[in-house]
Amino acid sequence: MASNKFFSIFFLIFSPWCFITIDAFPKYPSSQESDRVINLPGQPSNPPLSQFSGYINVNQERGRNLFYWFFEAQTNPIKKPLLLWLNGGPGCSSIGYGAAAELGPLRVKKDGVGLDYNKYAWNTEANLLFVESPVGVGFSYTKTPSDLTKFDDGFVAEDAYNFVMNWLKKFPQYQTHDFYLSGESYAGHYVPQLAELVYDRNKDRKNYPFINLKGFMVGNPLTEDFYDTKGLVEFAWSHAVISDQVYERVSEICDFRLFNWTKECIDVMEVVYHQYHDIDIYNIYAPKCFNNVGSLSAAHVDNPHAKVQRKRLRILAGYDPCFSKYTEEYFNRVDVQKSIHANVTGNISGKWTVCNNSILATYNFTVASVLPIYSKLIKAGLKIWFYSGDADGRVPTIGSRYCVEALALNLIAPWHSWYHNGQVGGRLVKYEGLTFVTVRGAGHLVPLNKPAEALVLIRSFLLGQDLPTQR
């Protein structure tokens, strides 16, 4: 045993890649330890991070497997809640966005070679779990190719539920922890739909295990097609992106309550999207990255027969809008994939990408609104927060306000400022069952644009504390 300890210390000091050893953390069963990440290329030496990654099977018969990356809380993990983060798209990676660019403890450097420690990581407040969902996103895969033609919200929710259930079987020490969900963009569908599935099945203890769900928080979430699209157009007009004439034309021609837009509406919305060609729709005051060729390809609505108005834009934004280029360089390295136990059976064809556009192209958008789920889960007593970066042109604050107001909840605290470091961090309004928060100057990806403010949000949400209302 002493020789093993000596070897661990020797390896810690002299290995160019391994900065911590398993000996630094509590020992877990071999089924868990086999997923422990101990030699992540480019990882900084401090602080030590207890992390695991690998695959969870969500459908044995069809061979569907979702890839996860899990970071234990940096302090007192046995008492901290478990938080699952989901990105949207549909087709975008929670590893490439949430974990490696936004709220995870390790961010890919601009050179795409190494990693930086993120002092605003959310695993300072919770045990933090990321999953690439659905299959076909990132490293997640299926052995049944026809699965890749069946994507809809129900399909994704069922696999996500099975992921949570089977992950907790693998890590049973977290089964009794308070469990929360969070995510952004099209996760505005994924998160409440998964929460509803957990809530419903928790009532059937004979057939399903109990999952200790306490609530969820979503950011710049697609929620209700009519309000979200109305907000997109009004934001573009009020922020000088489109002209008065284009705005009036949209108002005259388009009825966003229709499931299928008319060709005339599609044509004029094409004009609206085109005005974002030279700026970043996801953060209108940030520089645009011109290395991401075709980043707005999903915005083109040129086929009036393909329900193209339902297709969501790729999620690219931030103070460094080229970050997706760096994360793709990093996660396509063989040594990185080996260290995180990804693509171990060679089931991934082609390169790992931040977003899989083929999923976006084939996704069956059948759910126009998740507001009924909000009404149901608010009555159930779940804690729900809704936050919005106010510089996002894709899912603007104004559309989210329409969505929240449509719930017709009783007002507890009217619209007012909250503060961070003596400055206005944003605004908030508190209703019975839901808190709506804006983050000043943030775009579509709030934890990327305003990491300190985002950490304040998740801390306040998890601890049940009010955001600071004094300078």
Same domain, yes or no, for 236 and 213?
no
Q: What is the pLDDT of residue 315?
A: 34
Q: Is residue 8 part of a domain?
A: no
Q: Would residue 326 count as lying in a domain?
A: no
What mean pLDDT comes out for the span 200-229?
97
Q: Which tops the pLDDT comparison, 260 or 11? A: 260
For residues 159 and 204, state if they share a domain. yes
Give domain status of residue 391, yes or no: yes
Please check whether residues 157 and 297 belong to one and the same domain: no
Q: Does residue 365 belong to any structural domain of this protein?
A: no
Span of 84-88, 97-101, 239-243, 287-291 with lowest mean pLDDT: 287-291
Active site residues: 185, 392, 444
Domain that holds residue 239: 225-321
Single out the residue in 280, 298, 321 at which a domain terminates. 321
215 with 229, same domain: the answer is no
Which tokens hold the place of 328? 């793709």
pTM of the shown model: 0.90
82-86 and 127-131: which strand pairing? parallel
- Do 212 and 232 belong together in one domain? no
The Cα–Cα gap between 467 and 436 comes to 11
Q: Are residues 290 and 420 in the same domain?
A: no
Cβ–Cβ under 8 Å, residues 65 and 336:
no
Query: Residue 62 belongs to a domain with what CATH number?
Result: 3.40.50.1820
> Do residues 447 and 429 lie in contact, with contact meaning Cβ atoms separated by under 8 Å?
no
Contact indicator for 181, 84 with CB cutoff of 8 Å? yes
Counted domains in the chain = 3
Comparison of pLDDT for 303 and 88, the residue scoring more: 88
Q: What percent of the chain has pLDDT over 70?
A: 88
Write down the pLDDT at residue 39. 87
Three-state DSSP class for 122?
A: helix
Residue type, 424: V
71 and 188 housed in the same domain: yes
pLDDT of residue 24: 64
The one-letter amino acid at 194: L
Query: What average pLDDT does range 150-175 have in this prediction?
Result: 97
Domain boundary among 284, 302, 321: 321
Decide: helix, strand or coil at residue 198.
Answer: helix
Q: How far apart, in whole angstroms, are the C-alpha atoms of residue 301 and residue 262? A: 11
pLDDT value at position 23?
56
Does position 434 have pLDDT exceeding 80, yes or no?
Answer: yes
The answer to whether residues 202 and 258 belong to one domain is no
Other C-beta atoms within 10 Å of 247: how many? 18
What pLDDT is attached to residue 300? 29
Q: What is the pLDDT of residues 84-133, one digit of tens each?
A: 999 999 999 999 999 999 999 999 998 778 999 999 999 999 999 999 99
Question: Where among 168, 186, 219 does a domain terminate?
Answer: 219
Task: State whether 57 and 126 are in the same domain.
Answer: yes
What is the predicted pLDDT for the residue at 396? 97
Is the previous residue joined to 90 through a cis bond, with omega within 30 degrees of 0? Answer: yes
Q: What is the mean pLDDT of residues 205-213?
A: 96
Count the Cβ atoms, other than its own, within 10 Å of residue 90. 29
The answer on 95 and 115 residing in a single domain is yes
Neighbour-count burial for 137-163, b at 16+ CB within 10 Å, e otherwise:
bbbbbbeeeebbeebebebbbbbbbbb
Query: Do both 146 and 205 map to the same domain?
Result: yes
CATH of the domain at 454: 3.40.50.11320
Same domain, 157 and 41: yes
Q: What is the pLDDT of residue 325?
A: 87
Read off the pLDDT of residues 345-388 as tens digits, 9 standing for 90 and up. Answer: 777 778 999 999 889 888 999 999 999 999 999 999 999 999 99
25 within some domain: no
Distance CA(105)–CA(361), nearest Å, equals 32
In-domain check, residue 177? yes
